[in-house]
């Protein structure tokens, strides 16, 4: 994978670490600002649900980070595509079920990173052997 692909994957992993932190540790403090259309009384009642969701975001970040350290190019590509796909699905689901503005920060970068990663892999495979 090329530098742009790795950079996008890194940024998306960092985003999901932030989301996990927010959902696990700062739900009642930051949540009402992020989800301003929700009733503020909802946040203390849903702190356990948000923390559980935060763990899933940590899994996404872990998978993306894992894809960056795999030495085999084929498996590095496969794991990256798998976890970027998971992020894209999560972003799409959030856009449909919660709010478009909630899902787009996950959906758009992950689809962009998927495209860049696939293009980078194709150029690696199609490159003449030296």
Q: Which tens digits make up the pLDDT trace of 18-70?
A: 999 999 999 999 999 988 888 999 999 999 999 999 999 999 999 999 999 99
At residue 4, does pLDDT exceed 80? Answer: yes
Looking at residue 128, its pLDDT comes to 64
Question: Of 16, 10, 4, 13, which is closest to residue 116 (Cα–Cα)?
Answer: 4
Question: By percentage, how much of the chain surpasses pLDDT 70?
Answer: 95
Whether 1 shows a pLDDT value over 70: the answer reads: no
1-21 burial code (b ≥16 CB/10 A, e <16): beeebbebbeebbebbbebbe
């Amino acid at each position: 994978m090329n530098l742009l692909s790795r950079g996008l994957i890194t940024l998306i992993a960092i985003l999901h670490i932030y989301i996990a932190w927010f959902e696990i540790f700062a739900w009642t403090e930051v949540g009402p600002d992020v989800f301003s259309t929700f009733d503020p009384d909802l946040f203390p009642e849903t702190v356990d649900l948000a923390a559980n969701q935060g763990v899933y975001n940590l899994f996404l970040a872990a998978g993306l980070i894992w894809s960056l350290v795999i030495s085999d190019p084929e498996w590095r590509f496969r794991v990256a595509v798998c976890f970027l796909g998971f992020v894209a699905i999560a972003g799409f689901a959030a856009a449909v079920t919660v709010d478009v503005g909630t899902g787009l920060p996950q959906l758009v970068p992950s689809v962009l990173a998927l495209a860049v990663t696939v293009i980078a892999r194709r150029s690696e495979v199609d490159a003449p052997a030296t």
